[in-house]
Amino acid sequence: MAVPAHNLYLRNSQVYDETGDPIYGLLEARAIFKTQTEDVYRLQKGSVKDIVGFNIEVTLTITGQNAALKYFIIDQIVQGKTPIIPMLIGEQWDKELDRKERVRLTNIRFTPEELELFAAKAEGNDKSQYEIKGETNDKPDYLDRFPDYEEN
């Protein structure tokens, strides 16, 4: 059973290749931390859910025009590899206190059968952008954390 536990809405996100160079074309990123649980039976408490695993589902919104990220993924598929983005760094902002938290997600892999890399629509008012989805099992690294909350 998968239960969403925490949503990260990332601003100012950037993805990077194996050499640490940025891959352009990313508009927005969203990461959802999901856990897998199983029922475990305890003598005194009855059925309790234990966490047996987790993964982070990553959704990237990319542009059709500035599409270096799309070409990076296509190059890996053509070489017979599962497309993997080595690193994504994103920021979250606390608007009231003007503080940020930076998080790094690593080894984001995409399922080639589920990738939509080209999308054309007939309406003239649609933006040339689309979403691709992947996941990682690596623990997120917090490069900068929000400070502890203090009451005044």
Cβ burial 131-152 (10 Å sphere, 16+ → b, else e): ebebbbeeebeeeeeeeeeeee
- 84 occurs within a structural domain: yes
CATH number of the structural domain spanning residue 121: 2.30.110
Task: Identify the domain containing residue 122 by its residue range.
Answer: 2-144
- 150 occurs within a structural domain: no
- 85 occurs within a structural domain: yes
- 152 occurs within a structural domain: no
Token pair, residue 136, equals 């990682």
- 10 occurs within a structural domain: yes
Identity at 16, one-letter amino acid code? Y
Question: How many structural domains comprise the chain?
Answer: 1
**pTM of the shown model:** 0.75
Give yes or no for a contact between 92 and 29, defined as CB atoms under 8 angstroms apart. Answer: no
Would you state the pLDDT for residue 4?
42
- 45 occurs within a structural domain: yes
Per-residue pLDDT of the chain (152 residues; tens, 9 = 90+): 444 444 556 677 888 988 989 988 888 888 888 988 898 887 777 888 888 889 999 988 888 777 788 888 889 989 999 999 999 998 877 666 667 788 899 999 988 777 777 766 666 666 677 788 999 999 989 887 766 666 66
- 35 occurs within a structural domain: yes
DSSP assignment of 112-148? GGG-------S-TTS-SEEEEEEEE-SPPEEEE-PPP
- 149 occurs within a structural domain: no
